[in-house]
Amino acid sequence: MNRWYDCNHRLRVYLECMKNLDHAFCEKIVTDLMELIREYDAALLDRFAEEYPLAIRKQRWYDQNPYCWILFNGLRYASDDIIDLVIEYFERVL
C-alpha cells in the first residue's frame, strides 16, 4: 500500500490499531487527538471538513465516521511537531 502515513512506522501502527479498538475507546482517542491538534493548529482539522465523502459506500474503515475521517485527513497535513505529539499520546494510552 502507498498511504500517506506508511512512511512513519510508529504512526502507521497506531492508526491501524484504531480500527480494532472498542468503539467507545476509539471515540475517546479521536476526541482527545482532535483537541490536542486544535491546541497547536486551530484551523487544521476544519480545512478538510467540507471534503468528507458523502457517498453511501465508503472505502476505508475510517470513512464510516466523519470525526475519524477529519482526524486522519488533518494528520495528513499536520506538522512534524503535531505528529510527534500524536505519537506520544498513543504511547501513553495504548
What's 57's DSSP letter? S
Q: Stretch 20-38: mean pLDDT, rounded? A: 96
**Among candidates 26, 42, 44, 45, which has minimal Cα distance to 90?**
26
Whole-number mean pLDDT of the chain? Answer: 89
Cα distance between residue 78 and residue 5, in whole Å: 11
Q: What's this model's pTM, rounded to 2 decimal places?
A: 0.84
Q: Cα Rg for the chain, rounded, in angstroms?
A: 13
Q: pLDDT: is 28 or 59 the higher one?
A: 28
For the record, the C-alpha cell of 88 comes out as 506520544
pLDDT of residue 90: 98
pLDDT of residue 59: 77
Range of the domain at 34: 4-93
Q: Residue 67: what residue type?
A: Y
Reduced to 3 states, what is the DSSP secondary structure of residue 79? coil
Q: pLDDT: is 62 or 50 the higher one?
A: 62
pLDDT of residue 20: 95
pLDDT at 28 over 90: yes
Cβ contact 9:39 at 8 Å: no
Cell 494510552 sits on residue: 93
Domains contained in the chain, number: 1
pLDDT of residue 24: 96
